[in-house]
A = this chain, B = another copy of it.
């Protein structure tokens, strides 16, 4: 066949890049499990009617059909476009067999049937955590979940993150408190701040939505509030609105921010401009940016749903965050900033003096592996220089040399130092045991 070319929107990694992805996935998984989250995986497909429940994405679904289907029996199946819809279905389907509250994580690919174009992913990896309960979900999970995700992100070789938090009760209560009847319309307008600016938002609020100039000023002032402690409460109060929903929102957001200050100082910011998703979330909402790389946008967002799922009789409220692994990795790897120290797991290449020695060399490699040291034998009994270059090209740090007298030597091919060694006892430095992933710097590009 002719040489194939990459397919836009379906990123794939070379082995050395894949090691970075594995490192990221392993790290977040470990933290999720340390916090007691259980793994689930759902099938890649859902019935189309489930997928269409979230109206906004109905243009981005991949439908399936069997190549040789005589009927249209599978034509109502589509690939999931996130992990929330399948999780909600899984909860309903297995409700009788699950223990609630359920702490679950899910690291899987999702697909969106986007037009092929630069920067749009049609296949991408997500890492989600959610706590879901039956009927009611205590508020404290809205405090805990962002800290779990922050704990996971802190293990990654990326800049520190800042998690911007709002509570959907604050804008809704505030808008109602100043006499606005359709808070959702106002919220959608305020969400355009970045695009049309304060003046543009003000104009729409007054001209199209019938706000008074004073109301519009207050809405803009609310969206400007951003504090790392609970002082946002006084700033909101100074704007003069009064409403029960607002009071509840301020109290809840205050608890989230204060818990953040105790457990992860500098992490959380009360940011009353966060509007995205407020129409389907019902409590706290989160967006996460890397400090110094804010233009990359949110790498992890989520919030609380009062009804993640419902079967008519029972409702399952939940709170969760979703980390966009591919979105982050594509930028890191695309910039060449994320680096694994080698392209293979191998720590020791066992050199082959001659083909007859292969069984002996296999025994040496097996002996190293029995103590968890990744090792295999060189492909051919070439000159040692060529065998060393085999290791060098892959970044394998050590080459093992069986000696004619039955003894053994190991060479650190970075320093060239070669010493006597016993394959039944030798240990590599801890940092060489597995490929290392170095801390990266994010270079912001003009968008």
Contacts and interface: CB of A to CB of B under 8 A. Distances in A.
Contact of A374 (B6, B15, B34, B61): B34
Interface in A121-161: 123, 133, 138, 140, 144
Given A4-B92, A37-B344, A44-B44, 18 more contacts: A1-B309, A1-B311, A11-B43, A12-B90, A14-B98, A15-B38, A15-B98, A19-B38, A35-B369, A36-B344, A48-B67, A60-B66, A60-B67, A62-B65, A63-B67, A133-B379, A144-B362, A263-B366
Copies in the complex: 2
Contact of A38 (B18, B43, B140): B18
B13 A40 contact: yes
A66 B61 contact: yes
Contact of A50 (B1, B41, B380): B1
Given A14-B94, A123-B44, A379-B138, A65 B68 contact: no
Of A2, A18, A138, A375, which is in contact with the most chain B CB atoms at under 10 Å from its CB?
A18
Interface stretch (A72-80, A175-183, A284-292): A72-80
Interface of A: 1-7, 10-15, 18-19, 21-22, 33-45, 47-48, 50, 53, 58-69, 73-74, 78-79, 89-90, 92-95, 97-99, 101-104, 109, 111, 113, 115-116, 123, 133, 138, 140, 144, 259, 262-263, 309-312, 343-346, 355, 358-359, 362, 366, 369, 372-376, 379-380, 393-394
Nearest to A21: B41
